[in-house]
Amino acid sequence: MTTTEGAARLEVRDLVVGFGGLCAIDGLSVAFRPGTITGILGPNGSGKTTLLDSISGQVRPTSGMVSLDGEDLIDYLPEDRAALGVVRSFQDCRLYPELTVEDTLMVAEDARRPVGILGPTLRLPAARRAEVAKRQGVDGLVGSFGLEPFRHRRVDQLSTGTRRVVDLAAIVAARPRLLLLDEPTAGIAQREAEALAPLLATLHRQTGATVLIVEHDVPMTVSLCDSLVVMEAGQVVSAGPTSEVLSDPAAIEAYLGASQEALARSGEVASRPAGRDL
């Protein structure tokens, strides 16, 4: 029986995903240690987002296995996986534009700790306590993610980068065990992208979740991740501790070669400590 507590252990085995005549994932196998952050890198069309979609249940594989804590999730719907703590973010933040930041986070808290209609209507003590706990949770998220200046602003009045931060705060409210982040820096300014890395570290620290990040910003990914997976044409060409993958000729040839100058400028190759096994 899959647990709903603690960081998740994820294994993908012999995964195949096809769309018509196109094979997007071709026999991919990789495992992820609980509580680690893994960056998934590769050129456009390599299958990175399709992998996240397969894990979260947005796409049904042609064959293979997606295992959470030893249980195959292939027949689980996305909402069933969400109930087990699988949380998926998308490149476009799927927030309610007419809500304020505070209301958005309150909705996230409500989703995690729902209260029936009767209790709040009659102002029963348990319902009042739950409401106080939710508001305290929102206060903590606003403080942790630096959102106080935007607390009463509508989401559609925020910059793309600030909406991304609100999305991350809502993710923390969901208490994920397995978190799948798809291009968190996509579409935001360089200054906002640089500020996002410490917030992602905060997110990981607060949730303790197993985190998979699909990202094109290689220096940021290297700075955050314990492990890397490099994909090409729907297959894994290199996987392991970050320091080992960075020096793997197969990874360099497939994708990292174009990023060596950026990595050298960031100083990450020289300063990155030895990583851990996937």
Per-residue pLDDT reduced to its tens digit, 158-171: 988 898 889 888 88
Per the CB < 8 A criterion, the answer to whether 147 and 104 are in contact is: no
Domain presence at residue 165: yes
Average pLDDT over all residues of the chain: 85
Domain presence at residue 105: yes
What DSSP element (H or E) covers 201?
helix 190-207
Distance CA 163, CA 160 (A): 5
Q: pLDDT-based confidence at 263, cuts 50/70/90?
A: low
198 token code pair: 């410490």
125 token code pair: 């003590």
Claim to verify: residue 168 and residue 198 sit in the same structural domain? no
The residue written with tokens 């990874």 in the block is 251
43 token code pair: 């050129």
Q: Is 193 left (phi over 0), alpha (psi -120 to 50) or beta?
A: alpha
Answer yes or no: is pLDDT of 273 > 70.
no
Claim to verify: residue 182 and residue 270 sit in the same structural domain? yes
Report, as an integer, the average pLDDT of 187-210.
87
Domain presence at residue 151: yes
* Domain carrying residue 103: 95-174
The domain boundary, picked from 174, 208, 237, lies at 174
Q: What is the pLDDT of residue 118?
A: 47
The domain boundary, picked from 174, 190, 206, lies at 174
Q: What is the pLDDT of residue 254?
A: 86
Answer yes or no: is pLDDT of 107 > 90.
no
275 token code pair: 């990583």
Report, as an integer, the average pLDDT of 210-239.
94
* Number of other CB atoms surrounding residue 122 within 10 Å: 8
Q: What is the pLDDT of residue 134?
A: 84
Q: Phi/psi of residue 82, each to 5°?
A: -60, -40
Answer yes or no: is pLDDT of 80 > 90.
yes
The domain boundary, picked from 174, 200, 235, lies at 174
Report, as an integer, the average pLDDT of 54-66.
95
The residue written with tokens 């579409």 in the block is 187
Domain presence at residue 1: no
Q: pLDDT-based confidence at 156, cuts 50/70/90?
A: very high
Q: What percentage of the chain's residues is helix, strand, coil (to nearest 5)?
A: 45, 20, 35
Q: pLDDT-based confidence at 268, cuts 50/70/90?
A: very low
Distance CA 116, CA 64 (A): 40
Q: What is the pLDDT of residue 233?
A: 94
Q: What is the pLDDT of residue 197?
A: 87
Answer yes or no: is pLDDT of 259 > 90.
no
Q: pLDDT-based confidence at 119, cuts 50/70/90?
A: very low
Q: Phi/psi of residue 143, each to 5°?
A: -70, -45
Q: Phi/psi of residue 181, each to 5°?
A: -110, 120
Report, as an integer, the average pLDDT of 200-210.
91
Strand 178-182 versus strand 86-88 pairing type: parallel
* Number of other CB atoms surrounding residue 58 within 10 Å: 15
Report, as an integer, the average pLDDT of 30-39.
96
Domain presence at residue 90: no
Write down the pTM of the prediction.
0.81
Answer yes or no: is pLDDT of 192 > 90.
no
Q: What is the pLDDT of residue 126?
A: 64
Instruction: Kindly state the percentage of the chain with pLDDT values over 90.
Output: 53
Q: Phi/psi of residue 3, each to 5°?
A: -80, 165
47 token code pair: 């299958």
Claim to verify: residue 243 and residue 261 sit in the same structural domain? yes
Which amino acid is located at 119 in the chain? Answer: G
Answer yes or no: is pLDDT of 238 > 90.
yes
| 179: β partners | 87, 211
